[in-house]
Amino acid sequence: MNRKPKIYITVLSTIFLSLLSIPVYAQAPTVITAEVDRSTLTTDEYLILSVTINTGSAAASEPRLPALDGFDIVATSTSTQLSIINGVVNSEKVFHYTLHPSAAGEMTIGPILTDQNGQAYQTAPIKVSVSQGTGQRQSPPQPAAPGFPSLPSIAGFPSLSGLLQSFGLDNQPDIQGPVEPLDSAKLPSELRENEYLVEAEVDNASPYLGEQVVYTFRYYRPASATGRSIYEPPEFSGFWVHPETSETQFGGQFAGRKIHMTEIQTILTPTILGEVEIDPAKITSEGDIFSRGFTIQTRSESISVQPLPEGAPQDFSGAVGNFNIAAQVDLEQAKVNDAVTLTVTISGEGNLETFTDPQWEVRPQWRAFDSQASTDIQVEAGTIIGTRTIKQVLVPTTDGELTLPSIEFSYFDPQAGTYQTARTEPFSIFVEPDGQAPAPVSIEEQHSQAGTTGSLLPIKNTPDTDFFPSSLINKPGFWLLWLLPVVLIFSHFSWQKRRENILDNQGTRRGRKAAKKAYQALKKKNPESGGYFNAVGHILIDYLSDKLDRSVSGLTQAEISGLLLAHGVDHDLVKQVRTCKTISEMAQYAPIHDVNTGQFHQEIKSLIAELDKVL
Partner 1 sequence: MKHNLLTITLIGILLFGSLVAGIYSLASSDSFDAEAMEVANQLYSTGSYAEAGQVYEQLLSQGMANSSLYYNLGNAYYAQGDLGRAILNYQRASRLNPRDPQIRENLALARTQSVNEAAVASSNPIQSLADFSSSWFTLNETALLTLGLWFLLGFLFIAFRRIQPGKMRSFTQYGLILTALIFLMMGISLGTRLYTEQIRPEAVIIADQVTINSSPGDEFTTDFSLSSGAEVEVLDVQGSWAHLALPNDILDGWIPLSTMETVSQMGSFDKTIF
Position among 328, 341, 428, 505 found at the interface with partner 1 (CB under 8 A): 341
433 counts as binding partner 1 under rule CB under 8 A: no
Could you tell me the smallest distance in angstroms from the CB atom of residue 514 to partner 1? 28
Compare residues 83 and 389 and give the one whose CB is closer to partner 1: 389
Q: What are the residue ranges of helices labelled H in 317-462?
A: 443-452
Compare residues 416 and 480 and give the one whose CB is closer to partner 1: 480
- What share of residues in the chain are helix, strand, coil (percent, to 5)? 25, 35, 40
Q: Determine the interface stretch with partner 1 among 71-79, 169-177, 287-295, 463-471 (rule: CB under 8 A).
A: 463-471
373 counts as binding partner 1 under rule CB under 8 A: no
467 counts as binding partner 1 under rule CB under 8 A: yes
442 counts as binding partner 1 under rule CB under 8 A: no
Q: Determine the interface stretch with partner 1 among 75-83, 410-418, 478-486, 575-583 (rule: CB under 8 A).
A: 478-486
What is the C-alpha to C-alpha distance for residues 227 and 289, in angstroms, rounded to an integer?
A: 9
Position among 183, 444, 466, 594 found at the interface with partner 1 (CB under 8 A): 466
Compare residues 273 and 339 and give the one whose CB is closer to partner 1: 339
Compare residues 195 and 353 and give the one whose CB is closer to partner 1: 353
Compute the C-alpha angle 377/380/383, nearest 5°: 80
Closest CA to 556 of 570, 542, 541, 567: 541
Residue 588's Cβ-side half-sphere holds a number of Cα atoms within 13 Å equal to 10
Compare residues 25 and 468 and give the one whose CB is closer to partner 1: 468
Closest CA to 126 of 39, 31, 62, 48: 39
415 counts as binding partner 1 under rule CB under 8 A: no
Using CB under 8 A as the binding rule, the residues of this chain from 382 to 401 that contact partner 1 are: 391, 393, 395
Compare residues 366 and 600 and give the one whose CB is closer to partner 1: 366
DSSP string, 453-506: T-PPPPPPSSPPP-S--S-STT-HHHHHHTHHHHHHHHHHHHHHHHHHHHHH-H
456 counts as binding partner 1 under rule CB under 8 A: yes
**CB distance 210 to 262 below 8 Å:** no
Backbone angles phi, psi at 554, to 5 degrees: -90, 5
Residue 492's Cβ-side half-sphere holds a number of Cα atoms within 13 Å equal to 6
Position among 19, 20, 155, 473 found at the interface with partner 1 (CB under 8 A): 473
What's the residue count for the chain? 615
Could you tell me the smallest distance in angstroms from the CB atom of residue 478 to partner 1? 6
434 counts as binding partner 1 under rule CB under 8 A: no
Could you tell me the smallest distance in angstroms from the CB atom of residue 228 to partner 1? 15
5 counts as binding partner 1 under rule CB under 8 A: no
Could you tell me the smallest distance in angstroms from the CB atom of residue 170 to partner 1? 32
What is the C-alpha to C-alpha distance for residues 187 and 221, in angstroms, rounded to an integer?
A: 12
Compare residues 87 and 364 and give the one whose CB is closer to partner 1: 364
For residues 584 to 613, the per-residue mask of contacts with partner 1, x marking binding by CB under 8 A and - elsewhere, is ------------------------------
Q: Residues 6 or more apart from 480 whose CB is under 8 A from it?
A: none
Compare residues 311 and 454 and give the one whose CB is closer to partner 1: 454
Could you tell me the smallest distance in angstroms from the CB atom of residue 497 to partner 1? 12
Q: Determine the interface stretch with partner 1 among 44-52, 175-183, 264-272, 451-459 (rule: CB under 8 A).
A: 451-459
Could you tell me the smallest distance in angstroms from the CB atom of residue 363 to partner 1? 17
What is the C-alpha to C-alpha distance for residues 600 and 521, in angstroms, rounded to an integer?
A: 15
Compare residues 317 and 397 and give the one whose CB is closer to partner 1: 397
What is the C-alpha to C-alpha distance for residues 211 and 308, in angstroms, rounded to an integer?
A: 10
Helices 557-566, 532-548: axis angle to 10 degrees equals 40
> From the DSSP assignment, how many helices (H) and strands (E) are in the chain?
10, 30
Q: Residues 6 or more apart from 487 whose CB is under 8 A from it?
A: none
Could you tell me the smallest distance in angstroms from the CB atom of residue 454 to partner 1? 7
Compare residues 193 and 232 and give the one whose CB is closer to partner 1: 232
Position among 129, 249, 446, 576 found at the interface with partner 1 (CB under 8 A): 446
What is the C-alpha to C-alpha distance for residues 480 and 482, in angstroms, rounded to an integer?
A: 5
Could you tell me the smallest distance in angstroms from the CB atom of residue 330 to partner 1? 8
Q: Determine the interface stretch with partner 1 among 230-238, 272-280, 335-343, 528-536 (rule: CB under 8 A).
A: 335-343
Q: Residues 6 or more apart from 311 whose CB is under 8 A from it?
A: 419
What is the C-alpha to C-alpha distance for residues 260 and 478, in angstroms, rounded to an integer?
A: 73
Could you tell me the smallest distance in angstroms from the CB atom of residue 368 to partner 1? 10
Using CB under 8 A as the binding rule, the residues of this chain from 295 to 334 that contact partner 1 are: 330
Q: Which residues of 554-592 are buried (b: 16+ CB within 10 A; e: fewer)?
A: ebeeeebbebbeeeebeeebbebbeebbebbeebeeeee
**What end-to-end distance do the CA atoms of the chain give, in Å?**
149
Using CB under 8 A as the binding rule, the residues of this chain from 481 to 520 that contact partner 1 are: 481-482, 484-486, 488-489, 492-493
Compare residues 483 and 595 and give the one whose CB is closer to partner 1: 483
Could you tell me the smallest distance in angstroms from the CB atom of residue 608 to partner 1? 36
Position among 45, 263, 338, 353 found at the interface with partner 1 (CB under 8 A): 338
Q: Determine the interface stretch with partner 1 among 159-167, 184-192, 254-262, 475-483 (rule: CB under 8 A).
A: 475-483
C-alpha dihedral, 7 to 10 to 12 to 18, nearest 10°:
-140
Size of interface with partner 1, in residues (CB under 8 A): 49
Q: Point out which residues bind partner 1 (CB under 8 A).
A: 330, 337-339, 341, 367, 369-370, 372, 391, 393, 395, 437-438, 446, 450, 454-464, 466-475, 477-478, 480-482, 484-486, 488-489, 492-493
